[in-house]
């Protein structure tokens, strides 16, 4: 049965805001404002010269004074600026940030300090990010609320935007009962070399820089990694965030390229939480053989995949998300519910592409379960003829005491004729490698003798009768982190 959320009138919003002195109780009027499926009417007026400067501005984006009207309710003298990077940048239809208290101290709208209007430039269906955040929240992952807005600037219709809840101190107060510190990352990593590009957005309230503790944990030996991460990071929540992002086939996210994420450090619990952002890609069939199941960009994901327990937990979480969150019929019904409202606000020239992209999303939702289960099946791990595939293509060694040794093994799948028989070798003197037969097939074992210089090395496997080594396996030794 389809649920239709009634539109909350401006009068009701104003009454609720007035009763709270202009600051809405947590989760009350703003919850109605972000009701799924609503399409707000947002009108913006500002000096025409300021609009020209705004839409052509570059980072850091300046604010300009503007008057804002939402569903007939006027908010004069707000701050307006352009937003976005890379694929969402536009001079004609820019994504926009509204700061309600930029020129009027203490101003709120339904408890909110900021509004975010995303142009969905990379999403012809206009609803991918709202669909993504809907799934994250259903899985218990902290994610912004989202619906839609038809935006006009100085009387010019800019079409349908996504009205996304801003990740700021108001968002943190809604989710966490006590103090929390917010960080933003975009195309970066949590390793020592990239950590400085993760920007703290709110003041730290405790001693020291808490993010350094999480980064330092990523350099621990394998036996200490999971216990340390469990103390610093809501691991169960992170696995759900990671698995759902893969399920959506969104590679423009933390697990893949380090893009589009926030981190919230909840001081009462002493743990970090990942918050998704910029989820306007995905829900499109990946190209054959793209291997999205095992995409791993940042160090955190690589180290978890390098642990048998980490890989098993990741796959178990994927199956759990398929069973409990990925409800195709409900998702398709929601798309049907909002599609007509969105189409009415599109330019005629955009409607054909909109309908086409809606069918792409619908087809993805119908097929993703089957395609992902096939990709997760053991038979799919077999390599093509004449090639070699490792169950564990990356081996990570953290620093350990001089004079000790550490060994990591991985099972090999050989796509050549007959059993794999050959030799394994490395050009790095600190690495010793051996190829051995076992009940489950051949295994490659790599031993690192300390001390070894940090870096990235290759282990080569050469089958007998072949002159060239196949599919070099990477072995990474991690240096002690150095903070800037």
CATH classification of the domain holding 393: 2.60.40.10
Sign of CA dihedral 404, 408, 409, 412: negative
Sign of CA dihedral 374, 375, 381, 382: positive
Sign of CA dihedral 244, 246, 249, 255: positive
Three-state DSSP class for 290? coil
Answer whether residue 286 is part of any domain: yes
Say if residues 238 and 274 touch (Cβ distance below 8 Å): yes
For 301, the token pair is 């994901």
In a 10 Å sphere around its CB, with 0-12 CB exposed, 13-18 middle and 19+ buried, how is residue 183 labelled? Answer: buried
Is 316 in the same domain as 419? Answer: no
Instruction: State which of 310, 345, 380 marks the end of a domain.
Output: 380
The CA R_g of the chain, rounded to the nearest whole Å, is 25
pTM over 0.85: yes
Is 227 in the same domain as 368? Answer: yes
Binned at pLDDT 50, 70 and 90, residue 378 comes out as low
Is 74 in the same domain as 140? Answer: yes
Binned at pLDDT 50, 70 and 90, residue 13 comes out as very low
Looking at the DSSP assignment, which residues form a beta bridge with residue 286?
Answer: none
Is 21 in the same domain as 101? Answer: yes
Is 284 in the same domain as 375? Answer: yes
In a 10 Å sphere around its CB, with 0-12 CB exposed, 13-18 middle and 19+ buried, how is residue 354 labelled? Answer: buried
Is 230 in the same domain as 376? Answer: yes
What whole-number distance in Å separates Cα of residue 120 and Cα of residue 128?
A: 8
- Looking at residue 430, its pLDDT comes to 80
Q: Which of 198, 202, 179 is nearest to 187 (CA)?
A: 198
Residue 183 belongs to what H/E stretch?
A: strand 180-185
Residue 79 belongs to what H/E stretch?
A: strand 73-83
Is 230 in the same domain as 374? Answer: yes
Could you check whether the bond before residue 451 is cis, i.e. omega within 30 degrees of 0? yes
What whole-number distance in Å separates Cα of residue 218 and Cα of residue 299?
A: 7
pLDDT value at 21 more than 50: no
Binned at pLDDT 50, 70 and 90, residue 381 comes out as low
Answer whether residue 131 is part of any domain: yes
Sign of CA dihedral 112, 113, 119, 123: negative
pLDDT value at 12 more than 70: no
Three-state DSSP class for 403? coil
What whole-number distance in Å separates Cα of residue 119 and Cα of residue 433?
A: 52
Backbone angles phi, psi at 240, to 5 degrees: -65, -45
- Looking at residue 473, its pLDDT comes to 74
Instruction: State which of 336, 352, 380 marks the end of a domain.
Output: 380
Share of residues in the chain with pLDDT > 70 (%): 89
Three-state DSSP class for 400? coil
- Looking at residue 400, its pLDDT comes to 65
Instruction: State which of 170, 201, 235 marks the end of a domain.
Output: 170
- Helix then strand count (H, E) for the chain reads 13, 19
- Looking at residue 408, its pLDDT comes to 84
Say if residues 179 and 267 touch (Cβ distance below 8 Å): yes
What whole-number distance in Å separates Cα of residue 99 and Cα of residue 272?
A: 27
Output 158 or 451, whichever has higher pLDDT.
Answer: 158
Is 243 in the same domain as 348? Answer: yes
Answer whether residue 350 is part of any domain: yes
Mean pLDDT, rounded, for 390-409: 75
In a 10 Å sphere around its CB, with 0-12 CB exposed, 13-18 middle and 19+ buried, how is residue 151 labelled? Answer: buried
Residue range of the domain that includes 15: 10-170
Q: Picking from 17-21, 35-39, 112-116, 399-403, which range would have the lowest pLDDT averaged per residue?
A: 17-21
Answer whether residue 223 is part of any domain: yes
What whole-number distance in Å separates Cα of residue 222 and Cα of residue 303?
A: 8
Three-state DSSP class for 120? coil
Is 404 in the same domain as 472? Answer: yes
- Looking at residue 25, its pLDDT comes to 42
In whole angstroms, what separates CA 174 from the centre of its chain?
21
What order do you get walking across the sheet with 261-266 strand by strand?
A: 199-200, 180-185, 261-266, 271-276
Task: Write out pLDDT tens, residues 88-112.
Answer: 889 999 999 999 999 999 999 999 9
Answer whether residue 185 is part of any domain: no
Sign of CA dihedral 102, 108, 109, 113: positive
Answer whether residue 202 is part of any domain: no
Beta-carbon contacts of residue 303 (< 8 Å; ≥ 6 apart): 218, 225, 310, 396
pLDDT value at 69 more than 60: yes
Q: Which of 245, 272, 258, 281 is nearest to 198 (CA)?
A: 258
Binned at pLDDT 50, 70 and 90, residue 19 comes out as very low
In whole angstroms, what separates CA 133 from the centre of its chain?
10
Number of domains in the chain: 3
Task: Write out pLDDT tens, residues 157-195.
Answer: 999 999 999 999 999 999 999 999 999 999 999 988 888
Output 175 or 24, whichever has higher pLDDT.
Answer: 175
Binned at pLDDT 50, 70 and 90, residue 3 comes out as very low
Say if residues 98 and 84 touch (Cβ distance below 8 Å): no
Output 434 or 397, whichever has higher pLDDT.
Answer: 434
Answer whether residue 193 is part of any domain: no
Answer whether residue 192 is part of any domain: no
Is 326 in the same domain as 246? Answer: yes
Say if residues 373 and 411 touch (Cβ distance below 8 Å): no
Q: Picking from 55-59, 154-158, 225-229, 391-395, which range would have the lowest pLDDT averaged per residue?
A: 391-395
Say if residues 39 and 149 touch (Cβ distance below 8 Å): yes
Binned at pLDDT 50, 70 and 90, residue 404 comes out as confident
What order do you get walking across the sheet with 470-477 strand by strand?
A: 394-397, 470-477, 455-463, 422-426
Q: Which of 142, 392, 129 is nearest to 280 (CA)?
A: 129
What whole-number distance in Å separates Cα of residue 295 and Cα of residue 473?
A: 16
Is 107 in the same domain as 42? Answer: yes
Is 233 in the same domain as 149? Answer: no
For 352, the token pair is 């054909």
- Looking at residue 209, its pLDDT comes to 82
Task: Write out pLDDT tens, residues 187-231.
Answer: 999 988 888 899 999 987 665 689 999 999 998 888 899 999 999
- Looking at residue 412, its pLDDT comes to 84
Q: Which of 327, 328, 248 is nearest to 295 (CA)?
A: 248
What whole-number distance in Å separates Cα of residue 143 and Cα of residue 121?
A: 21
> Token pair 């090639």 is at which residue?
387
Binned at pLDDT 50, 70 and 90, residue 426 comes out as confident
> Token pair 């028989």 is at which residue?
421
């Amino acid at each position: 049965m389809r649920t239709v959320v009634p539109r909350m009138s401006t009068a009701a919003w104003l009454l609720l805001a007035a009763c709270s002195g202009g600051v809405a109780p947590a989760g009350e009027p703003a919850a109605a404002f972000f009701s799924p499926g609503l399409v707000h009417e947002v009108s913006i007026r500002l000096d025409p010269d300021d609009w020209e400067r705004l839409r052509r501005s570059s980072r850091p984006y300046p604010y300009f004074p503007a008057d804002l009207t939402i569903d007939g309710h006027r908010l004069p003298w707000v701050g307006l600026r352009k937003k976005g990077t890379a694929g969402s940048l536009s001079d004609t239809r820019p994504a926009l940030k509204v700061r309600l208290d930029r020129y009027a101290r203490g101003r709120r709208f339904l408890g909110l300090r900021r509004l975010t209007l995303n142009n969905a430039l990379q999403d012809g269906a206009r609803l991918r990010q709202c669909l993504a955040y809907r799934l994250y929240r259903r899985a218990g992952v902290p994610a912004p609320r989202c619906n839609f807005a038809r935006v006009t600037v100085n009387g010019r219709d800019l079409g349908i935007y996504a009205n996304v809840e801003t990740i700021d101190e108001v968002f943190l107060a809604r989710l966490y009962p006590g103090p929390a510190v917010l960080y933003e990352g975009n195309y970066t990593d949590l390793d020592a070399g990239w950590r400085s590009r993760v920007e703290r957005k709110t003041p730290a309230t405790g001693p020291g820089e808490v993010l350094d503790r999480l980064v330092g944990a990523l350099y621990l030996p394998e036996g200490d990694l999971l216990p340390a991460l469990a103390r610093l990071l809501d691991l169960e929540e992170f696995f759900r965030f990671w698995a759902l992002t893969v399920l959506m086939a969104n590679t423009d996210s933390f697990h893949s390229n380090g893009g589009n994420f926030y981190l919230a450090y909840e001081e009462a619990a002493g743990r970090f939480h990942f918050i998704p952002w910029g989820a306007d890609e995905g829900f499109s069939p990946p190209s054959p053989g793209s291997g999205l199941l095992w995409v791993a960009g940042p160090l955190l994901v690589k180290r978890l995949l390098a642990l048998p327990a980490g890989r098993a937990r990741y796959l178990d979480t994927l199956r759990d998300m398929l069973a409990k969150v990925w409800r195709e019929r409900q998702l398709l019904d929601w798309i049907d519910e909002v599609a007509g409202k969105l189409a009415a606000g599109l330019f005629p020239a955009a409607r054909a592409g909109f309908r086409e992209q809606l069918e792409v999303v619908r087809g993805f939702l119908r097929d993703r379960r089957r395609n992902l289960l096939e990709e997760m099946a053991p038979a799919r791990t077999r390599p093509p003829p004449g090639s070699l595939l490792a169950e564990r293509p990356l081996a990570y060694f953290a620093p350990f005491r001089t004079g000790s040794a550490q060994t990591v093994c991985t099972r090999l799948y050989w796509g050549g004729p007959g059993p794999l028989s050959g030799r394994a070798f490395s050009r790095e003197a600190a690495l010793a490698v051996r190829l051995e037969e076992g009940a489950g097939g051949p295994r490659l074992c790599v031993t690192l003798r300390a001390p070894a210089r940090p870096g990235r090395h290759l282990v080569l496997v050469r089958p007998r009768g072949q002159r060239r080594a196949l599919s070099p396996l990477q072995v990474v030794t991690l240096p002690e982190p150095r903070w800037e």
